[in-house]
Structure 1
Amino acid sequence: MGEMSEVGRLILLGAPLGNPADASARLREVLISADVVAAEDTRRLTRLARDLDLTVGGRIVSYFEGNEERRTPELVEAILGGYVVALVTDGGMPSVSDPGYRLVRATLDVGAPVTVAPGPSAVTTALAVSGLPCDRFCFEGFLPRTPGGRRSRLRALAAEERTLVFFEAPHRIGATLTDLADTFGADRPAALCRELTKTYEEVLRRPLGELARWATEGDPRGEITLVVAGAPVTAAERPDDDTLRAAVAEREAAGRSRRDAITDVATEYALRRRDVYTIVHS
């Protein structure tokens, strides 16, 4: 290890998704200077360091799903001892469907600082290139592996109006897309992003039904990020005039001014405020 700093800390490193040229200057700097580098796959870290023409300066340890429970206390102890520990996953940001959350939480729980050298994210990269609305979205990560669990989760998400982002393994993508088409509708727009930033990058922008056929008839490979349009926004059914008057009166009884009550009701039912005003005063 290098010389200890006065206060140890954890640094989360954003790693390239596939193209080493996307590595930031800070990523390079931290890989060289950190006392300990915890890597999801030490072989991938070695390859990345070689591609970046640098030597990792500190001790390299593995940190993945199978050993993070055991390794976390060791890394926290190093941080408390004054060492700088860097965490890097195979690609993208730690903690986002990758190891990291457990170590971040444990580091914060002992009062030690956590910082980040941000970098690429498959979530936002796929979202940006999908051609689907990006102003509001939710990330669902990997769906349950069992068919029943997957379908149950999708039924709970069917009415979600925000754009949805999923990760999926290539050997399950056909079944997942079939369930998505059955639950969300075969015509729901989507974008399947495969091998982002790599040599064989591919983005298929098609309805879910067409993507399901493509996946089940073919042999998809590589890392897949799936972006699905949110459910269509349906206008609230317009109530009759008596119901609108009652809704305004109810809000007035609760303490709202008549002006504000009319505005609230007009907003709720996507009506013009002037029309609600006329109904209330007729």
Structure 2
Amino acid sequence: MGQAHQFWIPDLFGYMVVFLRFAGVISLMPGLSESYVNPQVRLWLAFTLALIATPLVSNLPPFPDQPGMFVGILVSEYCIGLFLGMIMRIMLSALDVAGAMIGFQMNLSNAFAEGVASSQQVALPGVFLGVIAVVLMFVMDLHAIILRGLLNSYNIFPAGLSLDFTAFSGDVSQILLDILQQSFILAIQIASPVIIVTLLIFFGGGVINRLVPQIQIFFVLQPLQIFIGFFALFATLHVLMPHFMSAFTNSLITFFHITV
């Protein structure tokens, strides 16, 4: 029994390292980490992908002699996977922020549903944009780019050498700041058509209210504000979503150093 124990643990150690990183990414990956996806599906997907990817990873660490190093490497691999999945989550959260801005401008800020990026209650426009983005991710084969990025991640965060998190603390902080900046700028760009149109409505309503103060113009403009907001959103959707998907793809390619 002891000989069998010594046989299978070192042989499976490389697979366990790859599996935990893939499991961490899939647990936060957009489209797969939502509450309506069965956790067993995510588990088996990580199991299968790790089984395929393990022979492709060339710099796997050897089996450690100390139990503490064994546990530490496995925990650090799962944490790196969570970090990589969080990068994608932050980029996708731009749609939640844009949806909140759009909902506020259209008087829909109190209408909530479960968002795709955060799995929290977000404004309805954010849910709508998030669903479109997840569908486009699989239609445009971005999941293949994500899988290639996971394989390249072993060149950025080598397995087994990532136990010293202080060595990467500066890089990780800079990466998070850059991704947050890109995400917020992207949210403003996506929400800008509706913001501009509704500001023009408010300006026109203010002028009319000064000319005809007897009319409660802002109550009259509320239905028009919602209608024009939806019209501006749908009229620019064919430009906004390709722009978001292009920015999302470029962020993945830049971060994972993928050669297209």
Q: Name the TM-score class by shorter chain.
A: under 0.3
Structure whose CA Rg is larger = 1
- Choose between structure 1 and 2: higher strand proportion: 1
- Choose between structure 1 and 2: higher helix proportion: 2
Question: Relative CO higher for 1 or 2, CA cutoff 8 Å, sep ≥ 6?
Answer: 2
**TM-score of the two chains, using structure 1 as the length reference:** 0.21
